[in-house]
A and B are shown apart, each in its own frame.
Chain A
Amino acid sequence: MNTKEPIIRMENIVKVFPNVVANDGINFEIYPNEVHALLGENGAGKTTLMNILYGLYKPDSGNIYIYGKKVNIKNPLYAQKFGIGMVHQHFSLIPYFNVLENISIGLNELKINLNLEKVKKKLEEIMKKYGLLVDPEKRIEEMSVGEMQRVEILKLLFRGANVLILDEPTSALTPQEVDELFRSIRDLVKEGKSVVIITHKLYEVFQISDRITVLRKGKVTYKGLTSETTQEALVEAMIGKSVSFNDFSREQIKVEGSLRVEGLTLYGKGNVPIIKDVTFELKRGEILGIAAVAGNGEKELIDIIFGLIKQNSGKIILDGKEIQNKPVKNRIEMGLSFIPAERLTRGVAAGLALYYNSILHDHWSEPYIKHSIINEQEMRNFARKIIKSFEVVAKSEEVLAKQLSGGNLQKFIVGREMLRSSKYILAVNPTSGLDVSATQMVRQALVNMRNSGVGILLSSEDLDELVSVSDRIIVMYKGQIVGSFERHEFDKIKIGALMLGKNA
């Protein structure tokens, strides 16, 4: 099998975004008649790499060869010409149009005359050939997600795609639809196509793929045939082996009080549980890490604790008082702070000056407001303090929040929440988008807060971060707590496996 020549070879691809190296010298090959799984955690650079191949991004360096010939894929149209097609996580179909009309959009030969009959004939041939059946007259808005996906794939085949890239194709499908999709993928490969699947679900890789490439933080950490690998090797490649305890000095001080969550449950659309019977306790002077792959209820859990979402059942007990029905303001007054993930829409009022943004959680209390009247000077002082102690790069406190870069904005928000007096801090990805030194500074600050008796609930996509600062880690999968680790038991591979839904 290794003697086969690859159709597409990506060589030494480098792509740098502000603050993050998304692809760091990646080599990637696509072979004929194969399903190639591109595996990795969120932010590992999978989608970026495929977007480069599809012509959506330009690599900063590196080359792409098709059948051994160097090519320059300037935009998706070129990619289509080379027989490359991609189905994005979010479909690009027009809901009010039917299948035929959607497939016709952007077909070059159409010009003005829309000969739908001709399109229909060709489409029916393709459907028969690959066993991908949909009703050509059905409108997209009446379709299930699985059907829409079939339409997307048909669209690519119609344009003569030879290599199909599917970005997280199973994320919105029911198990039956997944089976069906996998059957279609098998048929496609039998008919001579190549398929790339981007995923972070381990079990799917074994079900469908022939070949695997694992990315971690922009680098290839594993490459090989599926038949020659084990789950353990893949988890290790995805999550990293080196358990580097970046040790911060920890002191234990005894402070009374805890934030307890009991039997918290939240239902989403169609009564699907998003959070199911979650119970844990966060003590003051402790960092409790939540490890979860994005979308497993960790975000909603924190929103519920802060009061932004209403739970369906369960209790939240802060220092002995039930707060699950209290408004946000009360919870803030009782000592909660929150570093949110959505920095620009939630963390700050983007169109207002920094000093206005410095008191979001104190805008009713002295010294900033006395008898409902604003003291602008105090607001400015506090903003200056944040800017200075967290090294925010900003001309002055009068700069609008939206004028700061992402990293600086994050530093400002982290600084604001840490410098105000609070008993508990909820933090979601507090170091995302920060450079190495700022990341270190924020982590140090988290540990310092902990040492001074603040309880911190830390949800992070970065397992290294959780392991380096947490006292305890709980793992969430599909809305449930599936594991809990004390600091001395931390094992990234075990935690990683639980995050992916595997029983360790």
Chain B
Amino acid sequence: MILGLLVSSAFFILFRLSPFIGLATLLYEGFGTVYGWYNTLRMTIPLLIIAVGLSVPFTAKFWNIGAQGQFILGEIFATWIGLLLSKCVPPLADIIIAMFFAFIGGAIWAIPPTVMKLYSGANEIITTLMMNFVAVYLLLWLVSGPMQGAQARLVGAPSSAPIPAQDMLPLIPGTQISTGFLIGLALAIIFYWILKYTEFGYELKLIGEGEQVASYSGINIKRQIFLSMIISGGISGIAGMVYVYGITSTLIPQFFSDISTSFGYVGIPVALMSSLNPIGIIFASIFLGGILNGAFVMEAIYSIPIDVVITIYGLIMIFSIIGIMFDLPKLIKRWKR
């Protein structure tokens, strides 16, 4: 943790900024103001939902690295059905249908790598990752072609038509926080319970302990892995829907260099640093969401190039994860003594 601060301080100094002020700004903008909190939660929501979804196959030690692609497919499906139905059904129905389609979209994207792993042994880390590449360019093609909005076409921007305002997810009354946050919290609690107290969770844990003991225990490993990936992909899809319906309102392309929007990747450390505990994921996603948000504000205030900000953000993330995963248990032990 300290190492992370030192290294990022060096970067601040490089840009003629007091490291202390730099870090303070980062945290202040992330967590210090009401407005900062709003923005932080905006970043948190997709991270939270994706990480909850990832915790399911991760429990069985099935490594789904494809949340980004599943997230994108969720966005695409939700936007497509939303634009199609917006005038025919009431807003609430539109949101529910969009969420359902987002789940389907994410799940579809999770199926091919899962089947490849279960029936031919292809490494899921590679195949899920590859599916991300396909998704990124599928989205780029859609928003600059078939799904490009009329407005966007005029200015030549790659984006879809906006979801009508009345169909968007409402804000929590009295705040500027999207109700997507509540969806995330609900999912976290539900999956905390599922993983801890149901037969499904029990079987996933056994699978994670090893194929031998799982098959000895009479578990249908293939079926449960498949199910866990459907859930994981589907939830990542819902994250995509919540992102479009709660934050951006249009489909916009995403690239790999654009870490800020690659929630699918950042979700992986969020899930892992919380030891796959969905309640822990709530806090971890708020923390990383805050740093992400703080980094953006820094760019605006001090006109540090975005690349540097993202570098700093990455460093802080790496070191804080190392810190949390290695130091925290020790600290707790010391404190108990």
Contacts and interface: CB of A to CB of B under 8 A. Distances in A.
Interface of A: 306, 308, 327-329, 331-332, 338, 340, 342, 345-352, 356, 360-361, 363-364, 369, 372-374, 376
Interface residues of B, number: 20
25 contacts: A308-B216, A328-B215, A328-B218, A329-B218, A331-B218, A345-B210, A345-B213, A346-B213, A348-B213, A349-B206, A349-B213, A350-B209, A350-B213, A352-B206, A360-B217, A364-B199, A369-B199, A369-B202, A372-B198, A372-B199, A373-B198, A373-B199, A374-B199, A374-B201, A376-B197
A363 B206 CA distance: 11
Contact of B216 (A346, A356, A374): A346
A30 B215 CA distance: 48
B210 A349 contact: yes
Contacts of B197: 373-374, 376
A342 B212 contact: yes
Contacts of A346: 212-213, 216
A356 B216 CA distance: 14
Interface in B172-222: 196-203, 205-206, 209-210, 212-213, 215-220
A356 B202 contact: yes
Contacts of A374: 196-199, 201-202
B218 A361 contact: yes
A360 B209 contact: no
Given A356-B202, A369-B199, A361 B217 contact: yes
A470 B39 CA distance: 73
Nearest to A308: B215
Contacts of A360: 206, 213, 216-217
A369 B210 CA distance: 22
Contact of B209 (A331, A342, A351): A351
Contacts of A369: 199, 202
A345 B212 CA distance: 6
A80 B205 CA distance: 48
A407 to B, nearest CB: 19
A338 B215 CA distance: 12
A332 B219 CA distance: 11
Contacts of B218: 327-329, 331-332, 361, 364
Contacts, number: 68
B216 A340 contact: yes
A486 B165 CA distance: 85
A329 B206 CA distance: 14
Nearest to B199: A372
Given A345-B212, A369-B202, 11 more contacts: A328-B215, A328-B218, A329-B218, A338-B216, A345-B213, A349-B209, A356-B205, A363-B202, A363-B217, A369-B199, A374-B199
B205 A352 contact: yes
A363 B213 contact: no
Nearest to B213: A349
B280 to A, nearest CB: 18
Contacts of A364: 199, 218
A352 B202 CA distance: 10
Nearest to B203: A363
B216 A329 contact: no
B231 to A, nearest CB: 15
Nearest to A329: B218
B206 A327 contact: no
B213 to A, nearest CB: 5
Task: Report which residue of B201, B210, B216 has the largest number of chain A beta carbons within 10 angstroms of its beta carbon.
Answer: B216
Contacts of B210: 345, 349-350
A254 to B, nearest CB: 30
B334 to A, nearest CB: 23
A361 B200 CA distance: 15
B200 A372 contact: yes
A296 B44 CA distance: 59
6 closest A-B pairs by beta carbon, nearest first, are A329-B218, A349-B209, A360-B217, A328-B218, A346-B212, A372-B199
A346 B218 CA distance: 12
A347 B205 contact: no
A228 B215 CA distance: 52
A347 B212 CA distance: 9
A351 B202 CA distance: 13
A369 B200 CA distance: 11
Nearest to B217: A360
A345 B206 CA distance: 11
A350 B206 CA distance: 9
A374 B200 CA distance: 10
A374 B197 CA distance: 5
Contacts of A328: 215-218
A327 B220 contact: yes
Contacts of A372: 198-200
Nearest to A349: B209
Contacts of A373: 197-199
A352 B205 CA distance: 8
Contacts of B220: 327, 329
Contacts of A308: 215-216
Nearest to B216: A346
A361 B203 CA distance: 11
